[in-house]
Structures are given as structure tokens and as C-alpha cells.
Chains A and B, each alone.
Chain A
């Protein structure tokens, strides 16, 4: 088939374009490039992050489940201790950034596993961690096992 013989039905084109846009949206793509007609080239795609944001070496702003990262530079003080049970979005400490106070909160509920003991922390520094609560079967994210078993002995 030559280029001249190519013909598209408008409804097919709309359907394919719509599907392509859905795929791009799903994968956060900003660009899809088909190299050539013979299939020798290939498909190149680009995600929006690649275009707009620098490649962060440590990704200090990236949320990692179970990690508590410093939302600010400054002097930290904790309102909780390791082993304490916490809820999602609970304020667990504060950072004094010179004259300002910045709250440190959790992104998930669970048990405080680690808290940093440093006086000063940098922005984005990993300053603590939370482990999911476990149920009787050892499954995560259920009722705190220690609460169920603790006083039964």
C-alpha cells in the first residue's frame, strides 16, 4: 500500500486519538513521537516531569510511605517517642526555623519505629519512620497487635 492509498474514516481517527490521549493522560505523557513509517525507528515518549523538573538526586520532596522527612530546616523537637502509636496526619513534632515554627506530621498511621536524635535537621532529611500496625495474623494496617494481646498474659 502506498501513501496515496491511505484513507481513514473520521470515526476511526477520533477513536484512536481519544484512546491515545487516554493513554498519555494515564501515564502523564506530554509527547509521543513515532519515528518513521517503516518501523525501523520506534516510539519515543516523554513524561511531563522530564521536561519541567530537574532530576532530583535524592528526591527530598518525594513522599516515601513510612518515612518522616523534615518539612523545613531547623531545630527539631518531638512530641512522640519510638513505639508510640500515631494516626495519619498527626503532628508528631515541630521544627524551629529561626523565628518560625513548622509542624512535622505523619503521612500514615502506625507505630513510630525511629526518630532522629539530632538537634538540627536539613530540609527533606529523613528524620523518622513509621511501621504499619499489625493484626493477629501479622497482616499490616489493621488493629495494633500489642493492644489486643498486651494484657492477656
Chain B
């Protein structure tokens, strides 16, 4: 039995606790003062308060987390997603300590965090990447040259960016200079680096991603793709697997390329290759590799019947993959909606308050990953996502109906949530037909606003 310290909170902390306990490991959770008494803290085998509510003084404080690991004599640290999960410096400090980091190697996290460098490495390894600059732009003149060569419109992106920040679309040469300076400043402010690069802009592509796991020695497996095109301001809202746009030929080609490239890179632990898919041209390009477990991992679990968190822990502790590719089959369709404490009637502003009444759905093919319960205080300190409702069924249309039923059963009182928006999406014709892209939410703004206004 190993003792695993979980350096996160909320639903992912509870998800990791469950996997640890099912594997016979001891789950120790760190928590802030504001999370004292919450469900993950109560369910864990042991809990350690590491700081006040403020993120930087608790969940993001590397020294506190390493100190907690020493205090409980942990064997491994699981970072969850967000927080310190993609902080290469933290991963390196854990690697230098007696603890195992449940995630990719620090040098992989570092490489994939440098988006332009990662593009170059993935391209060398045979993955299709969007046309753009070779690495970071050295100056504005180079930006002009590359943009001319690639052809407008282009995207200017922060090399160390993420979460939809440090990105700007440039329609023509007239806009380039202003946008170049703006993205550089935004990148410096948000990520502490002025490094930016250029990528060809594809108008409203689909966002499709592949789930992978590697042992760090060249053995890699995949758990197929997820469709994540339903987004608002670059934040995913609803995900599903498989993608309605994926053909067998394209899937086979992409997974073969991915396996080869990640085997070359000696990728370790879980990762996600995010791709843009230009449906009209039938071309898919890798845009980045996320070196963490993703929020939307449950849909991959539902169609494969595999537990990614268990695989992640077993791979980290044993140094080898617990299963082979031949043991991973795909069956049916799965969908996930992210339930956020946001008010869809007032521009999706975060909502706060106490959950006064709660009834999550259940029944066949329904899974809920959430930490909230009646009485939980949704505080202003943390992310607004309070849980995920996931459904599975044999076909996509049945899965949609099941999700509608699940949302209909859901009762959350005390705060506003994003559920009404999903109710609209699930009934919308083009969504139901699987005919959508990343521009979907913007394109239907008037329709869903009208629906929300009357409900």
C-alpha cells in the first residue's frame, strides 16, 4: 500500500481519493482553511490544512505541499488538474524529493509548456502541426514575414499561454503591429514571458483531442478521441466521445501518428493531444499537448470502461503501463456537461452562496463527479465548476436523451448554474445532428439568450 498526497480540491480531489482507495492506497488530502469540512476532506483517509483560503497561500504554495508530503510521509503526490499539475518547476522539485510525481516527467511538462518549442518537436516526431513560425518570433519583422508566408488570417499566441489567454486573431497586415504588441504585453503580464509565435488561423474548426498514456520508456497507448467543440470564450462547456465528425480512417491515421510520435518523445503518464480539425479540408493539426489529467476524462472512461486515474497512479508507481492497447475497446457514446456556479442570465458571472437543496441525477448510464452537498458554501476563492454530469448510452442520440433526463432530475438551489444553457443545447437541431464547431455558442447567441430569457 502506498500513501498518496492529493494536492488539489473539489471534484478532482474526490475523484483521485476514490481511485486511491479502490487501489488499496491511502489517500491524504491537503486543504485550505476555506475547504475545511468539505466532502473530499471528510472522505480522505487523512487531511492536512496547509493554509488560508487564498490559492497562492495554499494549493499553489509548493513549499506547503512538499511540507505536507513530508509530514504524512507520503509516497507520491497527485496534482489533479489545474493548480500545480503543469508546473514543471514543482514536478522537478517532487522528482528531486523522495516522492513520486503522479504525472509526466518535469522535462516533458516544461517542453509542452513552451508551445512554440513543443510545436517544433511534435512536427519533428511526425505529427501534423498548423503552418506557422518555427519556434518563437524574434521580432516584429519576423512576424510580418511569417504572417505573409502563412497567409492571413493568423493567430498570435503566447508561447507559455493557456486557458484561452494570450491569444489574438489577426485578420490583415494592418492589424499585425497593434496585435503583436498587445499579445506580447498580455503574455508578459499573464505568464511572465514576452515570447509569442504565429499559427495559421482556421475559421471555427472542431476541437478534437486524443487521450494518451505513456510509460516514459516508449510504450504508449491511447483511449480514443474526445470532441470538445462546444466552448464559450475558449472554455469547454460540453464534451463527448467519440467525436461525431471522426471517421474510422482519420481516427486510425491519427492514432498511429500519435503513438509513434509520443513513443519517440518517451512520453510518461497521462496526456492529451489537442487538435483542431478543419472539417471542410478534412485536415487535423495538433495545437498542444496537455500534460495532466483533463476535466473531461470521464467520457473516455465511459466508452472504454477504463479508469484513467487508476492507470495514472499505477503507471507512476510501477513505472509501466498496467494494460496494453489490445485491452482497450470502445463501446457506445458518452457526454459530459460541466456544471458551473455561474449565472447564465447575467453574462455567466460566477455565483456564490450556500447550496440549500441538492438532488443529483442517477439511474442507468448516469455518473456524477462532484464534491458538493447540501450546505456546501460555493466560495469566491476557487473555480466556478462545481461538478460534472456524465451520461453513457449505446448511441449518440440515446446519450443525448439520457443527458436531458439527467439534467431534468437535477435540483440545485441556492446558486445559479449553467444547466439551463445545456438544456437548450441538447434540444438544438444542429447539435443533435452533430453538425457544429468551436463557433457554435457564438453563432447561436441570440437563440440561447432568448431561451434563457424565457426560462
Contacts and interface: CB of A to CB of B under 8 A. Distances in A.
Q: Do A and B come from one complex?
A: yes
Tell which of A96, A98, A120, A125 has the most Cβ of chain B within 10 Å: A98
A98 B66 contact: yes
B36 A60 contact: yes
B272 to A, nearest CB: 30
Interface of B: 33-34, 36-37, 48-53, 58, 62-64, 66-68, 70-71, 377, 379-381
Given A54-B34, A124-B33, A98 B380 contact: no
Contact of A73 (B53, B68, B377): B68
Nearest to B381: A54
B379 A54 contact: yes
A73 B36 contact: no
A57 interface: yes
- Counting chain A residues whose Cβ lies within 8 A of the other chain, the interface size class is 20 to 34
A122 interface: yes
Nearest to B36: A57
Contacts of B34: 54, 56
Contact of B53 (A54, A57, A75, A97): A54
Interface string A32-47: 0000000000000000
A54 B52 CA distance: 11
B36 A123 contact: no
A12 interface: no
Interface in A90-116: 96-100
B50 A122 contact: yes
By DSSP majority rule, is chain B's interface helix, strand, loop, or mixed? mixed
Contacts of A55: 377
B249 to A, nearest CB: 52
Contacts of B49: 60, 73, 122-125
Contacts of B37: 57
A72 B377 contact: no
A122 B32 CA distance: 10
B33 A123 contact: yes
A54 B377 contact: yes
A56 B36 contact: yes
Contacts, number: 68
A73 B387 CA distance: 29
A57 B377 CA distance: 11
A55 B67 CA distance: 26
Given A61-B33, A122-B50, A52 B380 contact: yes
B51 A72 contact: yes
Contacts of A58: 33, 36
A74 B65 CA distance: 10
Contact of B50 (A56, A73, A100): A73
A75 to B, nearest CB: 8
Given A73-B50, A73-B67, 13 more contacts: A54-B377, A54-B381, A60-B33, A61-B33, A72-B51, A72-B64, A74-B71, A75-B71, A98-B63, A98-B64, A100-B63, A123-B58, A124-B49
A21 B92 CA distance: 54
Contacts of A98: 62-64, 66-67, 70
A119 B167 CA distance: 48
Interface string A110-147: 00000000001011110000000000000000000000
B64 A123 contact: yes
A75 B64 CA distance: 11
A57 B67 CA distance: 23
Contacts of A56: 33-34, 36
Contacts of A99: 63
B43 to A, nearest CB: 16
A120 B36 contact: no
